[in-house]
Amino acid sequence: MTSTRPGASAAPVAVAPAATSRLWRADFALLALGQAGSGAGSAVSSVALPLTAVLVLDASTGQAALLAACQQAPVLLVSLPVGALIDRIRIRPLLITTDLVAATTVLTVPVAAAAGQLTLGWLYAVATVLGATSVISNAATLALLPRLLGRERLLEATSRLVQLGGIAALGGSALAAGLVTVLGAALALLLDALSYVLSAVCTARIGGREPAPAPREGRSTVGREIWEGLRYVRRHHVIAPVLHANAVTQAVLAGQQAVLTVYLVRVLGWSGTAVGLALGAQAAGGLLGALYATRCVGQFGPARTMITALAAAPVSYLPLLLSEPGRAGQATVYAALLVQGVSAAVGGLAQRAVRMSVCAPRMHGRMQTAGQLVCAGPAPLAALTAGLGATQLGLRTTLAIGGCLLLLPVLRLLTSPLRHVHRLPDPDSDDPAPPRAVLP
């Protein structure tokens, strides 16, 4: 889940007068419930899908990495058109359609497994479709927030969504551990399909109060608006360095996720249940981080919060690399993933709030999806590179390289204008950076 945008004009965001009092009323409650349900199901699939490949289809390290790359690849193809599209249309019908497509896609895995027809090629196709629906859903969900709530509650609303998502992911990962043990990895995906249906129903029940997008000025084309969004993000003196740091972080974490299941199962000798609990520890860290992110930003400022959170990520790799088979090793990995979850949630919420606050309102949609492209675009290549590195250099060495690369985002923010941002800024005009602040 990621960011926001209204299809507004030069005025701020078109918000209903009672927006601030409706934060926990019907519209937001339904949106949050749907996202929590979807998050729980997705947590199950994040455990069950790679385990289906490894345990059911005996996938190799390279094949597991390719599966992860398939789920990340759609961001390269659909991010930019989706951003321009969201600024032009009502969001709720798009979200409902996306959820139903995802539910149908996930359901094919247990059906194919039951029929004895499940193959790695089918899992690759499922992962690709889920990756595309995830890109659309993440962008559209947070694009809906300014239309429902207004700018002044974005940090709080985003934090609440992440908190609920953390609870859902924690419960989903723990549930996945039990479902994989009792039902098998493929059948466990039934819960994910049901969660998408729940999300679609909740979104459909949101009151018909979403304002229509503002009419486009002149004869603006989708291609021109995509280029405008890319130019805006590239030139922005705050958004650009944040996205540079996020791109490196997301690439490293995508590489980690591509080989982590193989590392835990084949190097440390873990069971599917233990893998599910490990991802549950990461989700618990995300929940803790979401609970305290708003307080951290308010007390320490967004820049200091982001930089500290990013600095914690490479530190978390040390116990992950030094662990050995056995209960002590499991506890070490759980602690490392817990720290990763905390740092990711705190840093992610802080940077998201800064980007949404500083961005010109009419650019929110394109800023968000351009950010998805920059941050998640390298992820498929990172996953494949991690798989190749694990094959040639070994799993521990590959993870160690990733930990070292996580120092680069910290250095990027320390050398950017962001280090001077001590409070959430006001939205910029359409000129993203005065000449003296334009980044090379």
Contacts of 188 (CB under 8 A, 6+ apart): 44, 47, 48, 176, 179, 180
Architecture of domain 20-209+221-435 in this structure: Up-down Bundle (1.20)
Domain positions in the chain are 20-209+221-435
- Over its length of 440 residues, how does the chain's per-residue pLDDT go in tens digits? 333 333 333 333 333 444 444 444 677 778 878 877 777 777 777 778 888 888 888 888 788 878 887 887 787 777 777 777 776 777 888 888 989 999 999 999 888 888 888 899 999 999 999 888 888 887 787 777 766 766 566 666 766 776 676 677 666 766 776 777 777 767 778 878 888 898 889 888 876 566 665 555 556 676 777 777 778 777 878 888 888 888 888 888 888 877 888 888 888 888 877 887 887 788 778 778 877 877 887 788 878 888 888 898 888 888 888 888 878 888 888 888 898 888 888 888 788 777 777 777 667 667 777 777 777 777 778 888 888 888 888 888 888 898 899 899 999 888 887 776 666 555 554 445 443 333 33
Q: Residue 47: which of 164, 175, 209 has the closest Cα?
A: 175
Burial-class residue 17 by CB neighbours within 10 Å (0-12, 13-18, 19+). exposed
Whether the full predicted model's pTM is greater than 0.85, yes or no, is no
Q: Is the dihedral of CA 244, 247, 250, 251 positive or negative?
A: negative
Q: Is 383 within 8 Å of 68 (Cβ atoms)?
A: yes
